[in-house]
Amino acid sequence: MNKPAVSRRGILSASLATTAAAVPVVASSSPAGGQDAVLLDVLRRYWEAERAILAMEAGTEPPATASEYPAWESRFDGLIVDRERAIAQMADIRAMTAEGWQAKATILERCLPPRLRFPDAGLDDSEIRLALSLARDVAGGAA
In a domain, 91, yes or no: yes
Q: Could you tell me what percent of the chain has a pLDDT over 90?
A: 52
29: left (phi over 0), alpha (psi -120 to 50) or beta: alpha
In a domain, 103, yes or no: yes
pLDDT at 12: 47
Number of structural domains the chain divides into: 1
103-136 pLDDT per residue, tens: 999 999 888 888 777 777 676 778 888 988 999 8
Q: For the chain, how far is it from start to end, CA to CA, in angstroms?
A: 36
Dihedrals phi, psi of 108, to nearest 5 degrees: -60, -45
Q: What are the helix (H) ranges across the chain?
A: 8-17, 37-58, 69-91, 98-116, 126-138
Q: Find all residues with CB under 8 Å of 63, minimum gap 6, and list them.
A: 69
Task: Tell me the C-alpha distance between 99 and 137, whole Å.
Answer: 12
Residue 7 has pLDDT above 80, yes or no: no
25-73 pLDDT per residue, tens: 444 444 545 899 999 999 999 999 999 999 999 999 999 999 999 999 9
Domain span at residue 122?
Answer: 8-18+33-138
Pick from 84, 68, 88: nearest CA to 8: 84
In a domain, 3, yes or no: no
